[in-house]
């Protein structure tokens, strides 16, 4: 692959991913409500640079929709009695889509780049929808440990990608990240006394989601911007939430 086609990844993205992962790990270690709060913090990090990452106008409105979506997802998680309220997730996402369209109706700038703005907002909503499954995993056996395994794997994958970027080993980023994440997850499973197979599977699966997301977004024309890199790091962690829940469901 030509180096010109490689996504833009900088240490700022790695720091952002580590921050979001760290907050989620801390939340999972404290309580369900703390994890919901950590999810909102991660969404705030995403919202900071999301408009810059995809070069969309009306940045303030896009940020409001992103944060509103995160608050609603966290709200149904904290108040829900079954699987962290995730049965309400489709309703929350529908409301978020309505908010995205409502934002366009309220714009007073002639609605420049209307389709791009809507598409980028919907993509952010989808990423938060996947991230919401970190919260759903908390109701499953060893769910907290699986959340930790997944978010740590996302950070490892980001660090590996940044370290190998623009080198001859860049194409090996995904298998290296999967192997390193699996080893870390195995060690954590042994120290916590939980099923190692579930931990390793969650850790290996998370980079399979996180890396394509950051590679897709890393090709944006404004990806070199520091704010864009902050959003890129947050997105790669939040997008992998579905893997933690899927593994928890598989090992019920």
Mean per-residue pLDDT, 124-152: 94
Specify the higher pLDDT residue, 114 or 64: 64
Mean per-residue pLDDT, 72-84: 78
pTM reported for the whole predicted model: 0.92
Q: How confident is the model at residue 106 (pLDDT cuts 50, 70, 90)?
A: confident
Specify the higher pLDDT residue, 77 or 151: 151
Mean per-residue pLDDT of the chain: 91
User: Which distant-in-sequence residues (6+ apart) come within 8 Å of 132 by Cβ?
Assistant: 39, 73, 74, 77, 86, 89, 92, 241
Mean per-residue pLDDT, 147-153: 97
Two tokens, residue 190: 């042994």
Q: Given this model, what pLDDT does residue 84 score? A: 60
Break the chain into its structural domains and give their ranges. Answer: 3-250
Residue 95 phi/psi, 5° resolution?
A: -65, -40
- Nearest partner of 173 among 42, 50, 9, judged by Cα: 9
Whether 89 has a pLDDT exceeding 90, the answer reads no
Note the pLDDT tens digit of each residue in 153-210. Answer: 999 999 999 999 878 888 899 999 999 999 999 999 999 999 999 999 999 999 999 9
Q: Given this model, what pLDDT does residue 2 score? A: 43
Mean per-residue pLDDT, 116-127: 93
Note the pLDDT tens digit of each residue in 13-72. Answer: 999 999 999 999 999 999 989 999 999 999 999 999 999 999 888 888 999 999 999 999
Instruction: Give me the percent of the chain exceeding a pLDDT of 70.
Output: 96
Whether 105 has a pLDDT exceeding 90, the answer reads no
Q: Considering just the CA atoms, what is the radius of gyration of the chain in Å? A: 18
Please provide the DSSP assignment of 108-175 as one string.
-S--TTHHHHHHHHHHHHHHHHHHTHHHHGGGSTTHHHHHHHHHHHHHHHHHHHHHHTTSTTGGGHHH
Note the pLDDT tens digit of each residue in 202-237. Answer: 999 999 999 999 989 998 889 999 999 999 999 999
- The CA distance from 187 to 30, in Å, is 21
Q: Given this model, what pLDDT does residue 114 score? A: 81
- The CA distance from 110 to 60, in Å, is 16
Instruction: Give me the percent of the chain exceeding a pLDDT of 90.
Output: 71
Q: How far is CA 81 from CA 32, 85, 125, in A?
A: 12, 6, 23
On whether the CB atoms of residues 210 and 154 are closer than 8 A, the answer is yes
Q: How confident is the model at residue 3 (pLDDT cuts 50, 70, 90)?
A: very low
Specify the higher pLDDT residue, 7 or 34: 34
Q: Given this model, what pLDDT does residue 233 score? A: 96
């Amino acid at each position: 692959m030509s180096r010109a086609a490689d996504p833009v990844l900088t240490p700022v993205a790695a720091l952002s991913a580590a921050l979001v992962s760290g907050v989620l790990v801390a939340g999972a270690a404290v309580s369900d409500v703390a994890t919901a709060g950590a999810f909102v913090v991660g969404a705030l990090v995403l919202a900071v640079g999301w408009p810059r990452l995809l070069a969309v106008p009306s940045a303030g409105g896009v940020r409001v929709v992103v944060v509103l979506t995160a608050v609603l997802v966290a709200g149904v998680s904290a108040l829900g009695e079954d699987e962290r309220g995730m049965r309400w997730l489709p309703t929350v996402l529908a409301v978020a889509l309505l908010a995205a369209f409502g934002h366009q109706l309220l714009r007073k700038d002639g609605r420049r780049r209307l389709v791009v703005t809507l598409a980028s907002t919907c993509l952010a909503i989808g990423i938060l929808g996947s991230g919401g499954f970190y919260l759903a995993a908390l109701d499953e056996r060893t769910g907290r440990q699986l959340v930790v395994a997944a978010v740590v794997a996302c950070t490892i994958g980001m660090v590996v990608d940044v370290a190998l970027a623009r080198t001859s080993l860049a194409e090996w980023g995904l298998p290296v990240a999967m192997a390193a994440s699996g080893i870390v997850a195995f060690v954590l499973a042994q120290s916590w006394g939980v099923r190692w197979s579930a931990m390793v599977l969650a850790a290996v699966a998370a980079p399979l989601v996180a890396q394509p997301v950051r590679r897709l977004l890393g090709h944006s024309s404004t990806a070199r911007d520091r704010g864009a890199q902050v959003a890129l790091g947050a997105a790669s962690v939040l997008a992998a939430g579905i893997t933690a829940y899927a593994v928890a469901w598989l090992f019920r």
